[in-house]
Copies of this chain bind each other. A is one copy, B any other.
């Protein structure tokens, strides 16, 4: 079968490799679409970071080379012994987390923080291939009303949904999202799904603003608009009930902290590459907080799939599909250049 195999920095080869076999408790999936994540860009251009060059992962036993791809949907082609609730032909999306089940985070329901956490597509051969095999507990069914294209977006949309959940908002809340990349778009969908109607999205890139504008979002341009002044006016000086940093830059964090109401959270869903200069006094004087968030658990997957089934998400204008053969030139490099928003790879093309 064809697959995109990662051999290290700037080395991603589309090549023929043997089809994986289905072990006990496992499910084999013919991949329909696999999204390219920011993590994949980091591995290609700056990595290896999460992918281990040689040390086998404690849960998967796998190191480089590895088939990348952890955002995918597909159709079940085979199930292993002991799997009786997933069947050939089922449309599924994959929650790619391997977890030990024994550490404190696992025992307390937060396996996204498992001390030995692994990801299908980073620490095991992933979804940028015609076929992949996953453990049963990574499989979520897609209802008929959710397309396989949409199903490939459940993973990044669940990252955003989980982040939104940590903000403790309700349908009367006002929110401010920094960054209109795929996670920013996902935050907007998630917050809308939670009933919020007062959401502003702050994004300096005109193309990204245009994408989310078309979905119906209200946007601000931090290079032209007085964000703090506009938010103060819109909230009668109270500030927003939640802010989200999906941009990962110092200016967003600083701006967010000045726009937040008292005792309200700034949710950090960005991968900060280096320490930021942060005005903690802005936290102290108003009892605000900065809350980190990463990944998701099955609850987030279920909630996102439900919202998708209700027609709540839209791929129009921000999601495109490319062939596996173009994963580097049409995929990673276009994304890195900021010319594309979200790209799904079709492994059969």
B-contacting residues of A (Cβ < 8 Å)?
104-105, 110, 112-113, 115, 166, 237-238, 253, 261-263, 265, 268-294
Contacts of A291 in B (CB 8 A): 283, 287, 289
Q: Are B110 and A262 in contact (CB under 8 A)?
A: yes
* A284 contact from B265, B280, B283, B293, Cβ within 8 A: B293
9 contacts between A and B (CB under 8 A): A105-B263, A110-B287, A268-B284, A273-B281, A276-B280, A278-B280, A284-B292, A285-B294, A290-B290
Q: Shortest distance in angstroms between A241's beta carbon and chain B's nearest beta carbon? A: 11
When distances are taken between beta carbons in the complex, the residues of chain B under 8 Å from A268 are 280, 283-284
Given contacts A274-B279, A286-B292, A289-B292, 12 further A-B contacts (CB under 8 A): A104-B238, A104-B261, A105-B262, A110-B263, A113-B262, A166-B287, A268-B280, A272-B284, A276-B278, A284-B292, A285-B294, A287-B294
Complex-state Cα separation, A104 to B263, whole angstroms: 11
Bound CA span A44–B289, Å: 30
Query: Known interface pairs A261-B104, A286-B113. Does A292 touch B280 (Cβ–Cβ under 8 Å)?
Result: yes
The 9 closest A-B pairs by CB, nearest first: A283-B292, A284-B292, A289-B291, A278-B278, A113-B262, A275-B277, A275-B279, A272-B280, A272-B281
**Bound-state Cα–Cα, A182 to B118, Å:** 44
For A104, the chain B residues whose CB sits under 8 A away are 238, 261-262
> Chain B residues with Cβ under 8 A from A238's Cβ?
104
| Contact (Cβ within 8 A) A280 B287 | no
Most chain B CB within 10 A, of A113, A253, A274, is at A113
A209 CB, nearest partner CB in chain B, Å: 25
A277 B280 Cβ-Cβ under 8 A: no
Q: Which chain B residues border A112 with CB–CB below 8 Å?
A: 287
| A110, A115, A262, A279: residue with the most chain B Cβ atoms closer than 10 Å | A262
Interface-centre pick from A115, A270, A272, A282 (highest chain B CB count, 10 A): A272
